[in-house]
Structure 1
Amino acid sequence: MNIMVTGAGGMVGSHMVELLHAKGENVIGTYYRPTTDITELPKEIKMIECDIRYAPSVEKIIMEYQPEQIYHLAAQSYPTISWDRPYETIETNVNGTIAVYEAIKKVKELKKIDYNPMVVVACSSAEYGETLNQLEGSKIYVKETAELQPLHPYGVSKVGQDLISFQYFMNDHIRCIRARIFNSTGTRKVNDVTSDFTRRAIEAERTKIYELRVGNLDTRRAIMDQRDLVNALMLLAEKGTAGEVYNVSSENIYQMSDIVRMIEKQLGIKFKINVDSALLRPTDEKIIVGDVTKLKKDTGWKQNIPMEQTIADMLEYWKNK
């Protein structure tokens, strides 16, 4: 079947189109200012440049291919950047999502067919924001019913994306799954803690200057491997309930200092830690971890890849890069 992946130039999207292609699916990936090296992807994968904010381009692709599944991953996805570019963040994440749904409506109207794709939307744990700071003890595993109190423009944009998806489901009956994704990482990832630490560690190893620039090492995050995330999104497309929202989260919590220790152990290096004030956010969630009971119950998903394996793969990736 035809499957469309927006944001295929990102870390998750690039791995997703690669996996779908390996499975023999006819996958169409869109990209715009990719954050990964898309030349690493098999040349047989159809990759189309498309600014998700420009509705006619989105409409043209969906009209031509009429994908049966759409994984909408395209986004301005960095909270820190959203402070500097709030307009771009809102426009990309909210208006880009509207463009996808309006294109689906246009196919139905112009083609006069019962076009009924499943849209899996990459929403975010950043929607919960301050709510996460109010949870303690066993309640830190936030449920999908928790109040949305985002702490930065990125989180606000994801609330908008989430709710606009629900609106299109209720009013236009477009099947969609809202996946509130918690922290994930893996090869090709840039600008997150694990990718920054692993890249800087390899640079330090090569220069023999064993210093590591870091932000807040007390922050705790539930981080999952992108392969577990991609698997969850695919399972949701097949088994998830249309119109519903699902947390997609690791159940294993790591303090950022734990990540540093894992890197040191694998490289056999002890780093001098330098805290960079530029890497500290004005407000930050103390801990981010989701309750995935609903995801596991509806799809049978489970987390398979330990953080040690993820870090080993990322260190090897940066060595070769």
Structure 2
Amino acid sequence: MKVLVTGAGGMVGSHMVELLHNRGDKVIGIWHKNKKNVEQITLPIKFVQCDLRYAQGIDELIMDFMPDQIYHLAAQSYPTVSWISPSETIDVNINSTINIYEAIKKARKYIDSSYDPMVVVACSSAEYGETLNQMQGKGEVYVKETAELQPLHPYGVSKVGQDLISFQYFMNDHIRCIRARIFNSTGTRKVNDVTSDFTRRAVEAEKSGIWELRVGNLDTKRAIMDQRDLVKALMLLAEKGKAGDVYNISSEYVYKMSDIVELIEKLIGHKLEIKVDPALIRPTDEKIIVGDITKLKKDTGWKQDIKMEQTIKDMLEYWHNIS
């Protein structure tokens, strides 16, 4: 199978191209700004630098390669950055998605009218936003795909746009796609999320002997899954998901941010002095984020295999090895 992965420089994409290659697929990975993870990959995988905001590059790639599957993972993926650069976030996340679908249309027009790839689009739980808080006020926790989309930051808004533009291309142009609303995930090669920041800072504290940990809000709760379980879900959706449909991908296990700190302390064998950094507090923040994954499990048979303790152990070892 020929597979194109955008965002191959990110945590999920870099692990995914390795898994696809080892499965025997012919893979091309697209990266743009971040090459650090790409440089860690020793397998003979073809990587191409391409800014997806500009159509020519992705047009040529898709028309030359004609991939059977496209995993669109590339994004400006940080809510905190989206407050600083809202226009860029919207541009990257929505226009890049449009350009992929338009490239498929051009491939059908100029190369093969029967071209029919499956596109798996990495959408986000951030699309639900305030709906999550409203649900919790009613005593509900697990959000379904049918819930109202009320994002709380520009990143969430951009993901709603990406989600709905995909639905539009499915309905109007019959391009098969899966909209995967991904909840919190982490793992080796991840940066700028709570678990990666905490594990990296813990390793720095261990090496310096200054046992401090800068944190934001430790009272929020998140369903966090290992990137290996996420990659497995995305690949199952490409094979078994219903084209045009939307699926939550969420851990079934919910962790308070203070729980993550306690797991890290247990694994490093040392208590950390907590220092709350106002810069790490978001203007608005969902109190708890966890998705209903009934549809995902029913349609694909997916189940979560990796426990958080194993994920954190692997991340601590990763930071030890690269720092």
Instruction: With the length of structure 1 as denominator, give the TM-score of the two structures.
Output: 0.99
CA-to-partner distance for each residue in 1:122-170, whole Å, 9 max, x for gaps? 0000000000001137621000000000000000000000000000000
For 2:299 and 2:33, locate their aligned partners in 1 and report how far apart those are by CA, in whole Å.
Answer: 35
Deviations 1:87-132 (CA, angstroms, capped at 9, x unpaired)? 1100000000000000000000011430000000000000000000
CA contact (8 A) 1:142 1:290 kept: yes
Structure 1 residue 37: Cα displacement? 2.5
| CA root-mean-square deviation | 0.9
Q: Would the aligned equivalents of 1:129 and 1:149 in 2 still touch at CA under 8 Å?
A: yes
Q: Which residue of 1 aligns with 2:189?
A: 188
- Partner residue, 1:46: 46
Number of equivalenced pairs: 321
Query: Is the 1:36–1:189 Cα contact (8 Å) retained in structure 2?
Result: no
2:202 matched to 1:201?
yes
Aligned to 1:179: 180
How far the C-alpha of 1:36 sits from its partner, in A, is 4.0
SS at match of 1:140: coil
In 2, the alpha carbon distance for the partners of 1:186 and 1:111 equals 39
1:207-218 equivalent positions in 2, closer than 5 A = 207-218=208-219
Q: Residue 173 of structure 2 aligns to which amino acid in structure 1?
A: D
* Partner AA of 2:186 in structure 1: T
Q: CA deviation at 1:24?
A: 1.2
Counterpart secondary structure, 2:150: coil
Runs of 5+ in structure 1 lacking a partner? none
CA distance in 1: counterparts of 2:6 and 2:42, whole angstroms = 17
CA distance in 2 between counterparts of 1:36 and 1:190 reads 11
Q: Which residue of 1 aligns with 2:321?
A: 320
The SS at the match of 2:181 is strand
- Paired residue type of 2:307: P
Question: Given that residues 70 and 117 in structure 2 are in contact (C-alpha distance below 8 angstroms), is that contact kept between their aligned partners in structure 1?
Answer: yes
Partner of residue 29, structure 1: 29
Shift of 1:183: 0.1
Distance 1:276 1:229 in 2: 30
Question: Are the structure 2 counterparts of residues 264 and 35 from structure 1 closer, same or farther at C-alpha, using a change threshold of 3 Å?
Answer: farther
Q: Which stretches of structure 1, 4 residues or longer, exceed 4 Å deviation after superposition?
A: none
Matches within 5 A, 1:94-109: 94-109=94-109
Tell me what 1:117 maps to.
117
Cα deviation digits, residues 201-242 of structure 1 (max 9, x gap):
000000000000000000100000000000000000000000
Q: Aligned partners of 1:12, 1:107: CA distance in 2, in Å?
A: 27
Q: Which structure 2 segments of 5+ residues have no match?
A: none
Amino acid at match of 1:86: P
Q: Which amino acid aligns with 1:93?
A: N
Equivalent AA in structure 1 for residue 294 of structure 2:
T
Q: Show the counterpart of 2:71.
A: 71
Contact 2:216 2:277 in 1 (8 A): yes
8 Å CA contact retained: 2:14, 2:37: no
State the alpha-carbon separation in 2 of the partners of residues 273 and 112 from structure 1.
59
The yes-or-no answer on 1:147 pairing with 2:153 is no
Shift of the 146–77 alpha-carbon distance from structure 1 to 2, 3 Å rule, reads: same
Superposition pairs of residues 219-258 of structure 1, within 5 angstroms: 219-258=220-259
Q: Indicate conservation of the 8 Å contact 1:63/1:107, yes or no.
A: yes
Match of 2:158 in 1: 157
Question: Does residue 125 of structure 2 align to residue 132 of structure 1?
Answer: no
Q: Which residue in 1 is equivalent to 2:10? A: 10
Gap change, CA 1:105 and 1:129, over 3 Å in 2:
same
With normalisation by structure 2, the TM-score equals 0.98
Q: Which moved more, 1:191-200 or 1:128-137?
A: 128-137
C-alpha separation in 2, matches of 1:256 and 1:188: 20
Report deviation, 1:30. Answer: 0.1
2:30 counterpart SS class? strand
- Structure-2 residue corresponding to 1:289: 290
Specify the SS of the correspondent of 1:30: strand
Return the letter of the residue paired with 1:123: C
Letter in 2 for 1:298: D
Aligned partner of residue 135 in structure 2, secondary structure = coil
Moved more, 132-141 or 3-12: 132-141
Q: Note if contact 2:18-2:43 (Cα within 8 Å) is conserved in structure 1.
A: no
| Distance across 2 between alignment mates of 1:108 and 1:79 | 35
Q: What letter corresponds to residue 60 of structure 2 in structure 1? A: K
Structure 1 position 278 matched with structure 2 position 282:
no
